[in-house]
Amino acid sequence: MQVRVVADQPWDVKADVLAVPLLGQPDLSGALAELDRRSGGEIRALAEFGELKGKRFKAILTAAGELGAGRLLLVLGGDPVALDREAVIRIAASAERRLGGRAVKRLAVWLAPLAEQLEDGIDAVAELVTRGVVQGSYDPATIYREGYTDAPPALDELILVAPGEDASRLGRLAERGRIMGEGANLARTLANRSANDVTPEVLAEEAWSLAEKHDLWVDVIGPDKAAELGMGLFLSVGKGSDNPPRMIVMRSGRAGERDSLGRHLAIVGKGVCFDSGGISIKPSDRMDEMKMDKTGACTVIAAAATVARLAPGTPLLAVAPAVENMPGSHSTRPGDIVKALNGKRVDITNTDAEGRLILADALTYAEQLGATHLVDVATLTGAVARALGDLMSGAFGTPDDFVGEVFAAGRRAGERFWQLPLVDEYAEDMRDSWYGDVVNFSRNNDGGLVKSALFIREFVTKPWVHLDIAGTAYFRKATPFAPRGATGASHATLVELALAGVKA
Ligand code: BES
Ligand code: MN
Ligand code: ZN
């Protein structure tokens, strides 16, 4: 897909479809009135008919009259004061998704209605609309099925309609949006692929080929080397499966190299290719969803590739522990005491609390490789989904300065996080073990969400943020802006965070 920025008026643009965002009650004055007039009064007629009511992100496809475009697509953007960066992405994605199964090659989007409302103006809109269209074109139905014809159209050209603006500046920003969107879609495909397809070995091969393609350093650690290094927790989760574990490490820049903020940032993602629960086996209801439990790993792998595309050489370490959590005669048993890479003895009281175990060793390893700042991303707890739903991720971390930097990156990325507290007193419950230093699951599961983060905190010594994306990583139902399945949540935030340290 090519992106072209044009200074034409929206009624003059030649395209298959012209998308027009409508915020609030459409005000038929100025340029929108002219567009309405040339469309043969289509917009006014639809408003009077009651068609322009409804939920945010609803899109109405209608005739274009004398417009240069073949059809007009009106996208409801909701309350103008509620328009934020995330909404801009979703409006654009909804426009593209509404065209599923249609023969559309050239989609034009009129940016002004969004740019007038969004605080960050036209520059942000050019980037975010492009990213939204790219993300809106994503459909996992095409991963395994052949001849699927209802997918959103593969565009030859996205035309950003921006009269009176600097086309070359907006073009560069749109390119950034395109690469961000493609990165999110890459994370989504890796995450959506099923567990009989993507084993830890396959995920490692995918990471390897991305590293070669984007000139990243890569290392894949198998069970023998992991045992030599002392990654007891990582191995304890993977040993119940015939598909051996892989600790995947990717790096842009040199070993230990600091970025312009003095950081050697590491992003660490949970890669449980299937989470049956292990011996503490899960109920069968919705167990199929646990193929998505590798989403954190897929996200950090894709984010490393995206950073390499946008700003090659930016210092960044990505670590993705990949395992399959299965029951069997080789599995870890509840009550097993295992030595972590950092030397702590962990009493594994519940084998279904496995994400924190592999993250613990991965975070220690990232520190051994020189990380000064750590962000982990994981589908860690059902509790975060119950608390915050599928539109808001949970975040824990320390110190507040670094949490603030991650939240600022989230704002730039158009992603939502809610900070949750590390309640120190609850850590006592996590130390309530007969023989170990720490348990991975407290019998008193009150505050279990907080305790999951407190467990991870036992294994970090540097500024650290933990993002729990168990609610946001995938949608159980399609929305106007995204299909069922992986959403790409937190990919853009990680990329923005890394790019904050780009050397001038
Ligand atoms: N992968 C799950 C968390 C999860 C649940 C992600 C639902 C997405 C949707 C995690 O490994 C897990 O099993 N968590 C347990 C923790 C418990 C054993 C302390 C949970 O949430 O029940
Ligand atoms: Mn689990
Ligand atoms: Zn899990």
Task: Give the atom of ligand 1 at the shortest distance from the alpha carbon of 282.
Answer: 13
If DSSP codes are grouped into helix, strand and coil, which group holds residue 310?
A: helix
What CATH class is the domain 188-499? alpha beta
Ligand found nearest the CA of 442: 1
Report, as an integer, the average pLDDT of 59-74.
98
What burial letters (b/e) apply to 8-43, b meaning 16+ CB within 10 Å? ebbbebebbbbbbbbbeebeeeeebeebbbbbbebb
**Strand bridging mode 438-439 / 345-348:** parallel
Helix/strand number for the chain, H first, E second = 17, 20
Indicate which residue's Cα is closest to atom 17 of ligand 1: 353
Mutational pocket test of ligand 1: of 285, 326, 352, 446, the residue with most ligand atoms within 8 Å of the beta carbon: 352
Amino acid at 501: G
Ligand 2 geometric centre to CA of 360 (Å): 15
Q: Rounded distance, CA 371 to CA 365, Å?
A: 9
What CATH class is the domain 2-164? alpha beta
Q: Rounded distance, CA 230 to CA 224, Å?
A: 10
Is pLDDT of 372 > 80?
yes
Q: Rounded distance, CA 367 to CA 358, Å?
A: 14
Ligand found nearest the CA of 271: 3
Cα–chain-centroid distance for residue 70? 34
Query: pLDDT digits over 71-94, tens only?
Result: 999 999 999 999 999 999 999 999
Indicate which residue's Cα is closest to atom 19 of ligand 1: 353
Task: Give the atom of ligand 1 at the shortest distance from the alpha carbon of 440.
Answer: 19
Is pLDDT of 503 > 80?
no
Q: Which residue, chain included where needed, has tokens 């953007």?
A: 77
Q: What pLDDT, on a 0 to 100 scale, did the predictor assign at position 373?
A: 99
Ligand 2 geometric centre to CA of 384 (Å): 13
Is pLDDT of 436 > 90?
yes
What burial letters (b/e) apply to 168-202, b meaning 16+ CB within 10 Å? eebbebbebbbbbbbbbbbbbbbbbbebeebbbbb
Q: What pLDDT, on a 0 to 100 scale, did the predictor assign at position 6?
A: 98
Residues 356, 412, 416, 457: which is the catalytic one? 356
Indicate which residue's Cα is closest to atom 13 of ligand 1: 352
Amino acid at 109: V
Q: What pLDDT, on a 0 to 100 scale, did the predictor assign at position 434?
A: 86
Q: Rounded distance, CA 107 to CA 445, Å?
A: 51
Please, which residues bridge with residue 474 across strands? 486
Residues with CB under 6 A from ligand 1: 275, 293, 350, 352-355, 379-383, 385, 441, 448, 470
Ligand found nearest the CA of 468: 1
Query: pLDDT digits over 260-302, tens only?
Result: 999 999 999 999 999 999 999 999 999 999 999 999 999 999 9
Report, as an integer, the average pLDDT of 438-447.
98
Banded model confidence at residue 26, pLDDT cuts 50, 70, 90: confident
Q: Which residue, chain included where needed, has tokens 């249609």?
A: 102
Indicate which residue's Cα is closest to atom 7 of ligand 1: 382
Report, as an integer, the average pLDDT of 181-185.
99
Domain ranges of the chain: 2-164, 188-499
Q: Residue 11 gets which letter from DSSP? A: T
Ligand 2 geometric centre to CA of 363 (Å): 18
Ligand 1 geometric centre to CA of 277 (Å): 8
Q: Is 14 a catalytic residue?
A: no
Ligand 1 geometric centre to CA of 288 (Å): 13
Report angle CA 75, 7, 110 to the nearest 5 degrees.
5
Cα–chain-centroid distance for residue 387? 19
Residues 4, 282, 344, 431: which is the catalytic one? 282
Q: What percent of the chain has pLDDT over 90?
A: 99
Amino acid at 500: A
Q: What pLDDT, on a 0 to 100 scale, did the predictor assign at position 120?
A: 94
Report, as an integer, the average pLDDT of 238-242.
98
Ligand 1 geometric centre to CA of 242 (Å): 22
**Residue 214: burial class (beta carbons within 10 Å; 0-12, 13-18, 19+):** middle
Q: Which of 404, 392, 342, 402 is nearest to 372 (CA)?
A: 402
Taking CA atoms, 366 is separated from 122, 256, 285, 341, 415, in Å, by: 39, 10, 35, 11, 25
Mean predicted lDDT score pLDDT of the chain? 98
Task: Give the atom of ligand 1 at the shortest distance from the alpha carbon of 280.
Answer: 18
- Which contacts (CB < 8 Å, 24+ apart) does range 223-229 have? 229/341, 229/365
Task: Give the atom of ligand 1 at the shortest distance from the alpha carbon of 353.
Answer: 18
Taking CA atoms, 340 is separated from 129, 295, 421, 422, 436, in Å, by: 45, 23, 25, 22, 11
Ligand 1 geometric centre to CA of 308 (Å): 32
SS3 sequence, 390-405? CCCEEEEEECHHHHHH
Count other C-beta atoms under 10 Å from residue 118's C-beta: 21
Report, as an integer, the average pLDDT of 480-499.
98
Task: Give the atom of ligand 1 at the shortest distance from the alpha carbon of 473.
Answer: 8
Peptide bond connecting 283 to the previous residue in cis, omega within 30 degrees of 0: no
Report angle CA 484, 485, 489 to the nearest 5 degrees.
115
Q: Is 4 a catalytic residue?
A: no
Ranges of H-type helices in 294-426: 295-310, 355-368, 382-388, 400-413
Ligand found nearest the CA of 348: 1
Mutational pocket test of ligand 1: of 325, 381, 440, the residue with most ligand atoms within 8 Å of the beta carbon: 381
